[in-house]
Structure 1
Amino acid sequence: MRISLATGAVVYIRKNGINKTPDDQETLWFAATNPAGQYEFEVLTTSGKLYTAILNWVPTP
């Protein structure tokens, strides 16, 4: 299932409990410089659905 993360489609996006600002991007992306680790995401859509996910991020050298 694919959900949009763009402004207007979500009430909020949280990464490790910290609110992130939605933008015009519909998908999640990480910069190559993002540190390796486990990240917990929570997304509340404007339709009222709550999604949670854990991402074990390993950057590509």
Structure 2
Amino acid sequence: MNHTEFELLDGAGARISLALGAVTYIKKNGAELTPDDQETLWFSDNNPAGQYTIEVKTIDGTVYSAVLDWVPTI
């Protein structure tokens, strides 16, 4: 199984850490994901092609939202 790495950037281009302890939650199309020690999102090729809304709330209360237009690499 292949995975593709994505990073979430703020408006100034700085990386937003997605690691456990830096976020309150991460959601993919409304379903909560379990944060781990990674600062980035690893997206599996098992996900069908389509648009995915990723929502992240950091521990300081800032909510970020991004739409991932996903095309599997296999």
TM over 0.5: yes
The TM-score, its normalising length taken from structure 2, stands at 0.76
Query: Aligned partner of 2:48: which letter?
Result: P
State the partner residue of 1:56. 69
The number of residues matched between the two structures is 61
Q: Which runs of 4+ in 1 moved over 4 A?
A: none
Identity %: 66
Render the CA deviation track for 1:2-61: whole Å, top value 9, x for unaligned: 110000000000100011110111101112232111100110000111100000001113
Higher strand share: 2
* Gapped regions of structure 2 (runs ≥ 5): 1-13
State the partner residue of 2:54. 41
Match of 1:10 among 23, 46, 63: 23
In 1, distance between residues paired with 2:36 and 2:42?
A: 12
Query: Aligned partner of 1:11: which letter?
Result: T
Q: Secondary structure at the match of 1:30?
A: strand
The TM-score, its normalising length taken from structure 1, stands at 0.91
In 1, distance between residues paired with 2:41 and 2:55?
A: 12
